[in-house]
Structure 1
Amino acid sequence: MITVVLADDEPLVRMGLGMVLGGSDDIDVIGQAGTGSEAVDLARRLRPDVVVMDIRMPGTDGVAATRQIVAAGLPSRVLVLTTFDLDEYAFAALQAGASGFLLKTSDPDRLVEAIRTIARGDAVVAPRVTRRLLDTFATQLHPAAPVQDPRVGKLTDREREILQQLATGRSNAEIAAQLYLSEYTVKAHVARVLSKLELRDRTQAAIFAIRAGLAD
């Protein structure tokens, strides 16, 4: 059973989300929060698998709440909700450690599948969306000078190459074709890269690569 906490400042939205998720026999909504601070508190106490987090809430917003949940080392993964595609707040939440974002206009089935995907440890940001995110916010991602991070030294040459490919937003299949590797091998390399860099998903890996000066 996947346990979920819903965080949204609009009660009707929480009710609607609860009804959608209630129709799935493998998802259990164990808490609801109306503010970001309440979401953090519930995440600490209930330790859900997934927190479905609204971005714009009074007081502690979804970005700050996401950052606090991730910084606390909680097992909960965050799926942020946004009204606008490529909303700068949604992007900030990804930087803060969210495992993906979804539009509030998405189909109910897509929300359910996104929660299942995140609970498995994957991200819900599709490769093509990653490209759009990186293109849209390129100026924010490029620091004045590359960030020196000792974790880079843990990577093999092949793993660095995989990391550079992740920064382009390519899928595993596309990386496999580009580097003449099997898709299974690429998947294994991606897992090792994320583990060595202590990152949660490929979107964070893409951001890391650009900030470290390993990719344009």
Structure 2
Amino acid sequence: MKFDTYFKHHFPSDLRRLHFFERRFRTRSKSNPYESGLAFGNAGWSNMRRDLAGIPVAHRELFVLSLFFMVLTDQVVFARFPEVYPNWSKATHFPKFAQRGFCARMQNPLYLLETPERASAAQQMVNVPLTAALLPEAVESYFSLLGQASSAFLGGVSPAEIADAIERDQDFQFGQGELCSTFRAAFSRKLAEISCEA
């Protein structure tokens, strides 16, 4: 199955299978600076096995990639494009990747790629080589989906602006292993390609 097909037709129902907890989060709204919302994952995605246990085995690799791109986009829009975040958040209602506890810290999205790979062979929930093979096509689809979201929810912030903000962020270099390095290489290649077209 292609990433785009999975993301549009299967990811929303699989996402509901995660184990969520409720948190209060900062918003970008002056009238409502905090709101309650759903979160998942815990520190370093320590809940990975529990979260992925409810996802159909045939969907897990695409689910992990979809979850990663969802979290990555939500966090970069919040951090780098505060003027459009309230509309984005209202339209998407994405759960937050955060840890439990009174600090409710957001977690680096690259944990969603690193943690499945770090798991011991007995604990592995995803096929890492298959996930790595899916990443270049997922990055291509991601840029296309960003283009669709740009006009609908992002006030015209372009995919190139979002991608550039992601690549320039210090957290872009976080994470070890094949999945993180494959993502960074494919992402940087695609960003260079669209930058040349502009």
State the TM bucket, normalised to the shorter chain.
0.3 to 0.5
Please say which structure displays the higher CA radius of gyration. 1
The TM-score with structure 1 as length reference comes to 0.30
The TM-score with structure 2 as length reference comes to 0.32
Q: Which has the higher contact order (CA 8 A, sep 6+)?
A: 2
Which of the pair is proportionally richer in helix? Answer: 2
Which of the pair is proportionally richer in strand? Answer: 1
